[in-house]
Structure 1
Amino acid sequence: MQRRKFLKAAASGTVASAALAAPALAQERKDMVIVSTWGRDFPGLGTSGQRLAERIEELTEGRIAVQYFAAGERVGAFDSFDEVASGNAQAYCGTDYYWKGKHPGWAPFTAVPFGLTYTEMDAWMKFGGGQALLDKIGAEFGIKGIPCGNTGLQMGGWFNKEINSPEDLKGLKMRIPGLGGDVMAKVGASPVSLPGGQIYENLVSGAIDATEWVGPWNDYFLKLYEAAKYYYWPGMHEPGSQVSLGMNKAWWDGLSDQDKRLITVACAEENAMQAAETNYNNGIYLNKLINEYGVELREFNDDVYEAFGDAATEVIEETRDHSELAKEIVDSFLDARANVGAWSNYSDAPYVAKRNRYLDI
C-alpha cells in the first residue's frame, strides 16, 4: 500500500516537474534572426553565412532558433547594420568596412589597404588587442562583433581597359568599398559602392568601368569574366578581408555564458572554414577562368602600385585623425602590421616565392 502511494506520488511529482520544466525550456529558447550582406547560396560568402547559422542552432541544441535572411530577403545588404542595432534583427553576417560612414574605425576590422593578411589579421584579433577594440567600437553602436570568416588576399579587380600607369586610373568608375575605395579616389578614380548582386549588371551596362569583388572562385560565379576583359593582381585594397557576425549587444548580453561560448566556437570554426575553402577553390577557378574562358591576367606594375601605396598612406592617416577611438584602432592595427609583418618577411613570403620558383608553379 505504501509502495503504491509512493509510486503515485512520484508519478505526480514527475508530471508536475515536467509541467514546470516545459515553460522553463520555452523561456530559455531564443530567436535569432540573422540578416546578411550577400545573396542566398552564393558560393563562399553566402554559403558560409548560411552554414554558420545552421551551426549555431546545432551547437545550442535548438535553444537558439536561427532564421537566416540573405541580402534583399528582409532588408537590403547595406541596411543590415541598422536592422541589428535597432533590435529588429539579432545579428548580421557581413563585412564591417561597409559601416565606415558611421565611423571610419569600423574599416580596419575588415581590411586596410597594404594591411594585414588573413593569418596576420587573425593574430591581431586574438593576441594583439583587435577583439577588445572591436568590442569597444561596437559598444558605441550597440553591437557585439565576432570574426566569422575571411576571404584571404583578394584580386585587384576586373577592368575594361589596361592599366599601364596611374594616369589610366583617372576618371575610372570602379565598384570598390571601404578604405580601398578612398585610395582609388586619391589616385583619381571614382569609387562606387554596390552590393555583390548588382555588380554584374552595372559592369555590363557601362555604369561602372571596373570592379573588384573577391577572387577567382567568387568572381567566377558572378560571371564577371563576361563583363570585363582584364583581371588584375595583386589586390592592394583587401589583403585579408575579415567577415563578422555582428550581434545586437542587448540580445547578446541576455544570453547564458554557455550559449555565448557556443556562438563564439561556431564563429571560430567558420572563420577557419571560410578561409580554407576560399583559398582552396581560388586556385581551381583561376585555372578555369584562364583555360576555359580566356581571361587575361595583368599584373599592376610598380608605378601603379607606388601610386596606390602613397594614397594608402594618406588614407590611413586620415582615418587615424578622425577621433581618439579611430587613432587607437589604427595604431593597434599598424603595430600588428609592423610586428607580425616583420616575421612574414622571413617566413611565408620568401618561402612561397622560392618554392614556386623551384617548382615552376
Structure 2
Amino acid sequence: MKRRDFIKVTGLGAAGAATLAAPAIAQSMPEIKWRMPTSWPKSLDTLFGGAEMMCKMVAEATDNKFQIQIFAAGEIVPGLQVLDAVQNGTCEIGHTASYYYFGKDPTFTFGSAVPFGPNMRINQAWYMQGGGRDVLNEFYKSYNVVSLLAGNTGCQMGGWFRKEVNTAEDLKGMKFRVGGFAGRVLQKLGVVPQQLAGGDIYPALEKGTIDAAEWVGPYDDEKLGFYKIAPHYYYPGWWEGGPMLLAFVNLDKWNALPKYYQSVLEQAGHYANNYMMARYDAANPLALKKLLAGGTKLHAFSPSIMDACYKAAKELHAEVGATNANFKKVHDSLAKFTSDGYAWFQVAEVGYDIFMARRSQS
C-alpha cells in the first residue's frame, strides 16, 4: 500500500500524525536536571536574562523534562570561574564570556571578541558559517567543554573615565578595568589593566582602586552606576566590536545527552542570542539619552588613540601567534573571514547606515 493511500485509509493527516508523535516523543524523553552558573549578577537583566531565556526555552521545548537551574555570579562559583566549574564537572553548563579565561590561553579571546575584530554580524557569521565553531570547539575540547552560541551585546562602549583622555600619553599609568585580551594590548601603551567581574567594578571605581572602567553599554552601565563617579564616557569599545557570549557545556555531559536534547539546547541558545541582541538594541538608545540628560560627557576616542591601539593590537596578535599554534590557527580563520566580510559590508551596509544615521538626526 502506498503511503498516501495508508493515510487516506487510516484518516491520518498531519494533525493525526502529530497527535501520535507528540506523546511518543514525550514518553521517550528522560528527566534531566542541570545547573548553570553564570558570570552575571541578576541586576544585569539583559546578560543574566539572556541566560534565563535559554533555560526557559529548554524547559518549554521538553515539557519540563530537561530543566536547567540558573545561578548568578557568586552563588555557586565566582563569576570568573564558570569555565572551571563546567570543565571539572561541578556544573554541567555555564553562561559566560570566553575571553575571561585568556590567562589560561590567549586563544580563549576569540570565543567572545578579539581587539579590532569584526562587528556582531560578521563575528557570528564566522562562528556559524565560516568554520569558527569547529575551530573553537577543537580548541575547547582540550578543556573538556563544547561551546554553544548564547548571546551577543553588539559593539560596546569604550568605558568611563574620571578625566579626559586625548592622546595615548594620557593612558600611561592608568588603572583600567578592561575585560579579556584587550588588557594586554593596553599594557603596551602603559595602561595597568584590571579584570574584575561586573559586580566588583563599582566599589573599585568608588574607592579609587581603578581610574576607569568599561563594561558593555549604556543600559548595563547605567544600572552599575559608573556615571556617578567617572563622568567621561568614551566610544567605541574597539576591543569588543561584536562580542559573542557562549554556553560552555561539559563535554562528557554533552555527549551523553540524547540528540533531541542537544538540538533543543542549541536552538535555545540561538533564541537567547537573538533575544539579547534585540534587547540591547531597544534599551541602549533610551539609556544613553538618559545618561546624557544627567550630565554624562560623551567622547569619541581620538584618531591618535585609535591608531596607537590598533598598532599595538596587531603587534600583539603577531607576537602571540608566533608562539601559540592554537591562537594562530583561530586568528587566521577569523582574519580571512573578517576581511571578506568588510569587503561586502562597505558596499551596501556601511553606506546605508551612515546615510540613515545622519538623516535620523536631522
- Under a length normalisation based on structure 2, what TM-score does the superposition of the two structures give? 0.90
Query: Matches of 1:360 and 1:67 in 2, distance apart?
Result: 44
Query: Matches of 1:268 and 1:193 in 2, distance apart?
Result: 28
The amino acid that maps onto 1:346 is V
Contact 1:41/1:47, CA 8 A, preserved across alignment: no
How many residues are aligned here? 338
Contact 1:118/1:153, CA 8 A, preserved across alignment: yes
Query: Matches of 1:345 and 1:319 in 2, distance apart?
Result: 30
- Structure 1 residue 27, shift from structure 2 partner: 8.9
Contact 2:139/2:326, CA 8 A, preserved across alignment: yes
Aligned residue number for residue 301 of structure 1: 302
Matched, 1:165 2:170: no
Aligned residue number for residue 267 of structure 2: 265
- Structure 1 residue 41, shift from structure 2 partner: 4.0
- Structure 1 residue 356, shift from structure 2 partner: 2.2
Aligned residue number for residue 31 of structure 2: 29
Matched, 1:213 2:215: yes
The amino acid that maps onto 1:301 is S
Contact 1:38/1:71, CA 8 A, preserved across alignment: yes
Query: Matches of 2:115 and 2:83 in 1, distance apart?
Result: 23
The amino acid that maps onto 1:103 is D
Contact 2:186/2:193, CA 8 A, preserved across alignment: yes
* Structure of higher CA gyration radius: 1
Contact 1:179/1:315, CA 8 A, preserved across alignment: no
Trace 1:56-95 onto structure 2 (pairs within 5 A).
Answer: 56-95=58-97
Shifted more, 135-144 versus 314-323: the winner is 314-323
Aligned residue number for residue 133 of structure 1: 135
Aligned residue number for residue 185 of structure 1: 187
Q: CA 1:32–1:295 in structure 2 vs 1: closer, same or farther (change >3 Å)?
A: same
Shifted more, 351-360 versus 243-252: the winner is 351-360
Aligned residue number for residue 283 of structure 2: 281
Trace 1:1-361 onto structure 2 (pairs within 5 A).
Answer: 28-291=30-293, 293-360=294-361
Query: Matches of 1:203 and 1:348 in 2, distance apart?
Result: 38
The superposition leaves residues 6-63 of structure 1 with CA deviations (integer Å, 9 ceiling, x where unpaired) of xxxxxxxxxxxxxxxxxx9799211211010011242211111122122222212222
The amino acid that maps onto 1:78 is L
The amino acid that maps onto 1:91 is I
Instruction: Name the SS of the counterpart of 2:55 in structure 1.
Output: helix
Aligned residue number for residue 11 of structure 2: none
Query: Matches of 1:268 and 1:134 in 2, distance apart?
Result: 17
Query: Matches of 2:216 and 2:137 in 1, distance apart?
Result: 26
Q: CA 1:54–1:41 in structure 2 vs 1: closer, same or farther (change >3 Å)?
A: farther
Query: Matches of 1:106 and 1:27 in 2, distance apart?
Result: 34
Instruction: Name the SS of the counterpart of 2:143 in structure 1.
Output: coil
Shifted more, 77-86 versus 310-319: the winner is 310-319
Query: Matches of 2:349 and 2:261 in 1, distance apart?
Result: 37
Query: Matches of 1:89 and 1:59 in 2, distance apart?
Result: 22
**Runs (4+) off by over 4 Å:** 24-27
Contact 1:147/1:271, CA 8 A, preserved across alignment: yes
- Fraction of identical pairs, as percent: 32
The amino acid that maps onto 2:79 is A
Query: Matches of 2:360 and 2:127 in 1, distance apart?
Result: 34
- Backbone CA RMSD of aligned residues: 1.7
- Structure 1 residue 358, shift from structure 2 partner: 3.2
Instruction: Name the SS of the counterpart of 1:271 in structure 2.
Output: helix
- Structure 1 residue 301, shift from structure 2 partner: 0.9
- Under a length normalisation based on structure 1, what TM-score does the superposition of the two structures give? 0.90
Alignment gaps of 5+ in structure 2: 1-25
